[in-house]
A and B are shown apart, each in its own frame.
Chain A
Amino acid sequence: MTTVVPIDPEVVGGEVDDLRRALAARLAVVADALGVEVDGLSPSRTLDALARVARASSDDRSRWLLYVGLTGTFPSVAEMGKLTRALLLSTPATALIGVLQTTLDVQSRTHSGLRTIELVRDTVLVDVDFCAKYEHNTGIQRVVRHTVPEWQDDPERAHRLVAWNQDSTGYRELTELQRDRVLHWSDRRLPKADDPVLTDAQLAVEHVLVPWDSVLLVAEVPAFHVCDTLTSIARFSGNRVDVIGYDAIPLVMADTLPNAESERFAHYLTLVKHSRRVHGISESAANEFRGFVSALPSQGLTGPEVVTTSLATEVSAVARAAAGRVVRDRSADPVVLCVGSHEPRKNQDAVLFAAELLHREGHRFRIVFVGGGSRTATMHFDKRVAALSKQGMHVESHRRLGDDDLWGLFGRARFSVFVSLHEGFGLPVAESLALGAPVVTSDFGSLDEIARVGGCLQVDPRDDTAIVDAMRRLLTDDALHDSLVADIARQRPKTWRAYADEIWQGVAA
């Protein structure tokens, strides 16, 4: 018989009882999932029984779940390794001690002991962390906010939206405000506000959603600090993890991005390695991930299946309406539009060069650059724009332009220029086409996939003179311009509904 040293209530108050009750509740969930009979057992005896099962089990998922139940947090890959080694070196009788020893650090945190857990079983969890938490809407967020709402209220597409909790140790339900950010971006039900910052006391009582026998769709490129925990889920938990593969730009074009982006992406690739399926947003993006996967046999891995699910090319009715409202002034200079965040990869410098050369040649046009960027990326460019403007060239650069104004510019543009050096998809080309403006764009990769349908002039974006020539043709050759506009008129853009259907089929398969 063991004797229990009585606890001094003066010192610990009711906290120990609360912790014990919370632990008992979490372990009961684990025992149920693992099919271990623990009725009437104390928390310590329950844990002992579970530790013996986890030790004897040949698969990792029982150990993963035990860790989650014991600590109220998801384990990292290293923590799983530690637990597994401890159990390998223990006997049935000492398994409990091995488990306690390897989770001691996490268990002594003061902000997670009272957590409750809920297994989310046999369903699809969709990790929409960034979209849930931030008022930011470019590339990836637009994809998520167009896609996920298409699955709402469809009993055939039961799923659970999840975000990481504040200490990034587990999933939680979205708040009403967060759901609003994800599901009603262009039609908000709630006033915009920041998420509250939780206190330790609030963090301690988090309700943690635990994927179990489920599919986890990582719909965004996750933050650096959760990549390892996600890898651990993919490797050990028995859940199948799918990711949407946007691009491999941080690896392939590392010279055009801050180092930290490439670093983060390399850690994301560790998750990709252990995922079940990558849904590439274009054939080109899928091929990048296929390339990566084909490198994996060197480390004894087969890697995920990679499928292509091309993004939608339609624009919202709001955008079409805004572009349609524009009254074209035939006497005004033709508008050339260049949209995209300002960074070296987007090649705005080459477009500005081409515009200057054409201006010198005597062509009359107004060129408008739209897109935000860091000060270091934009400073030199903006100075040049100001200088050229002073010299009488009709050029402007907008760093913050409202959506409506942007749609209006597309409606007004004679054509747009998007000669990026690399894109996963190239939304600005799709948008330009959907709003009726021909595009000068690159002749490879995902941009080629979009442009092949028609309405574009394609160039090698690394060849400055080719960009000049294409822009000159579209400024001067009305027959060519008319034929591209006619091509565009025949196009039927792919809808977000269709994209959401395809992704769902891929995820549920």
Chain B
Amino acid sequence: MITRPVHDQGLRLAARTASSASLDWDALSGAQLVEALSRHLGEPSHRLSYLLLSVLERRVPLASSVVEFTRQWRIDGLVTPLTAEYARLARSLPRRARPLAIVGGVVVDVTDTSRSRFTTGIQRVARETVTRWTRDAEVTLAAWDPSGRTLHGLTDDETGRVLLADAGAVAPVPPGAVLIPFDATFVLPEITVAAARTASLRSVVRFGTRRSAAIGFDCIPVTTSETSGPGMPGAFSEYLAMLSLTDVVAPISSAAFTEYSGWAAMLPGAGLTPPRIETVGLPSQVGSVDDATVARVRAQLGLADTPVVLSVGSHEPRKNHLNLLVAAELNWRRGHEFSLVLVGGNAWGDGEFQAMVATLRRKGRAVTMLSGVDDDVVWSLYRSARCTVFCSVNEGFGLPVVESLVSSVPVITSDFGSMRELGEGHGALVVDPHDPTAMSDALERLLTDDELHAELVALSDSLPRPSWDDYAAQLWQLVVGPDTGTSEAAATGSATAETS
């Protein structure tokens, strides 16, 4: 057997991590090392197969390889398959292998957040939450490389994109190191619809963790596939199949809870124990802007004199903008004067929407479309609006409902799910979004009935406003589990790296 120093280093790391035998592992190499492992590592298990393959492949192995390796271990003992993998993998390794670190403790997968500068949606949740966690606990931040197969520590730049001001320190990992979560507490505060990353996560969650948790944003791509772009329902199904192996999923609203609970109820037929589903509701997010800015934005957009009806959301079919345009047109025809302002990017399947906007504009209707605008502009528009409309067909949360109400502006929203839950009784008028006539009637009432309008504005004060601190603390309790305090999981957080 030809010895490979890089494999020997990896196997010694595995040995020190998983074996309690008091051997001088550094004195062993090649066949002797393999032999010693077969005597001192323990009984065949997927957990140990995962560890051994990880240090030889120098990345998280696929679940199918782990299962296959354990089978061979059971049939032939450890020496034969381990020697075979030792030799086989030596051929595919680069000349200079990246350092390897085995990480326990809390490992947070912030792949997308570490690469993007988006300030809304999922990334926002990840940033606000992880930032707060780093203040009291030691967490390791990790991201998958673009191939989705190798997990690595974050560069300073990447860390900077994840953590907001006032963050604490994160667990140090060797620069450029490949990370192997082992007996870890793994957290996914994002979603993944990249096939290779999803497959790698399956393996981590199944073999490399003691506990795993994820935030559940919604199940829309499979419960409302008719509003999802091509490829999304399939990729999302794989993401859910991976989530089925986790211990806890924390939906962001009780509407998302309903969806995840329904999905979880489908799992026992496949012999799977569903994860615990426990809601941690997102906080209300308040943006503020001064009066001068509001006035400037109004003037710039030529909205100084007319009431503004605002709708914030991308132009994808799920947001139901076609029915909004019908409702607006019916009101214009009845002689009501207002400007319709639509804030949101172009999206999959918006052809008919674009055509209808063009038709309305040709008739002289005041339709303003904005995309990619600053937060200041958005908050100024909220502050300027007579009312907003957010009648989506399905939402995990429905941020625009909250944004409108924290701006003390009544919102017309859908009469179900998260939108109803957030808005009803707090300044929203709820309607059936599939019924443009109902939407039109609600809009007419808000444009013409000052008493109703004032009533709804007053109600918006009653909107519950939990903070990000509350959210992060509740989620942390779910991550570390009912049996552990806040510190135990974090105490073992440091990485074990190779010694050469």
Contact = CB atoms under 8 A, between A and B. Distances in A.
Contact of B234 (A263, A287, A421): A263
B268 A356 contact: no
Contacts of B394: 298-299
A259 B235 contact: yes
Contact of B195 (A89, A259, A461): A259
A33 interface: no
B262 interface: yes
Contact of B222 (A78, A251, A284, A300): A251
Interface in A286-337: 287-288, 290-300
B223 A296 contact: yes
B212 to A, nearest CB: 16
Contacts of A446: 269
Interface residues of A, number: 63
Given A263-B234, A295-B223, A251 B326 contact: no
Nearest to B233: A266
B234 A266 contact: yes
**Which among A250, A299, A446, A464 has the highest number of chain B CB atoms within 10 Å?**
A299
Interface stretch (B130-138, B301-309, B409-417): B409-417
A296 B265 CA distance: 13
B237 A445 contact: no
Nearest to A256: B241
A262 B226 contact: no
Contact of B75 (A81, A349, A353, A421): A353
A299 B224 contact: yes
Interface string B252-296: 000110111111111111111000000000000000000000000
B222 A255 contact: no
Interface in A194-252: 228, 231, 247-252
B240 A444 contact: no
B258 A421 contact: no
B441 to A, nearest CB: 12
Given A81-B322, A298-B394, A465-B74, A445 B223 contact: no
A100 B297 CA distance: 42
B266 A291 contact: yes
Judged by DSSP, the binding face of B is: helix
Contact of A464 (B70, B329, B416, B436): B70
A259 B437 contact: no
Contacts of A265: 237
A445 B219 CA distance: 23
B271 A421 contact: yes
B199 interface: yes
A464 B199 CA distance: 21
A389 B352 CA distance: 62
A445 B271 contact: yes
B269 A285 contact: yes
B266 A287 contact: yes
A125 B202 CA distance: 43
A88 B326 contact: yes
Contact of B223 (A78, A299, A421): A299
A442 B67 CA distance: 18
Interface in B393-410: 393-394
Contacts of B70: 464
A300 B436 contact: no
A357 interface: yes
A260 B238 CA distance: 11
A269 interface: yes
Contacts of A85: 322-323, 326, 436
Interface string A395-423: 00000000000000000000000000110
A270 B225 contact: yes
Given A231-B226, A297-B416, A298-B417, A252 B195 contact: no
A443 B270 CA distance: 10
Interface string B213-233: 000000101111110101101
A82 interface: yes
A253 interface: yes
Contact of B219 (A255, A295, A422, A461): A295
B471 to A, nearest CB: 20
A261 B199 CA distance: 17
Contacts of B255: 298
Given A270-B226, A357-B74, A287 B268 contact: yes
A255 B234 contact: no
A254 B225 contact: no
Nearest to A465: B74
Nearest to A228: B226
A299 B393 contact: yes
A70 B418 CA distance: 40
A241 B260 CA distance: 26
B244 interface: yes
Interface string B413-445: 011111000000000000011001100000000
B12 to A, nearest CB: 29
Interface string B71-109: 100110000000000000000000000000000000000
Contacts of A300: 414-417, 432-433
A267 interface: yes
Nearest to A286: B269
Contacts of A350: 71
Given A88-B437, A266-B234, A270-B226, A294 B195 contact: no
B211 to A, nearest CB: 19
A77 interface: yes
B249 to A, nearest CB: 13
**Which among B230, B263, B323, B352 has the highest number of chain A CB atoms within 10 Å?**
B263
Nearest to A352: B71
Contacts of B231: 259, 263
Nearest to B218: A298
A20 to B, nearest CB: 30
B26 interface: no
A299 B420 CA distance: 10
Contacts of B270: 249, 252-253, 421-422, 444-445
B420 to A, nearest CB: 8
Contacts of A89: 326, 329-330
Given A85-B323, A253-B270, A294-B261, 9 more contacts: A254-B240, A259-B195, A263-B230, A266-B237, A298-B259, A299-B394, A422-B269, A422-B270, A445-B270
24 contacts: A85-B323, A89-B326, A89-B329, A89-B330, A251-B240, A253-B270, A254-B234, A254-B238, A255-B242, A263-B233, A270-B225, A292-B263, A293-B262, A294-B258, A294-B261, A295-B223, A296-B223, A298-B394, A298-B418, A299-B394, A300-B415, A357-B74, A421-B271, A464-B71
Please list the 7 inter-chain residue pairs (A to B) with the smallest Cβ-Cβ separation, ordered nearest first: A295-B262, A300-B416, A291-B265, A266-B233, A263-B234, A254-B237, A262-B237
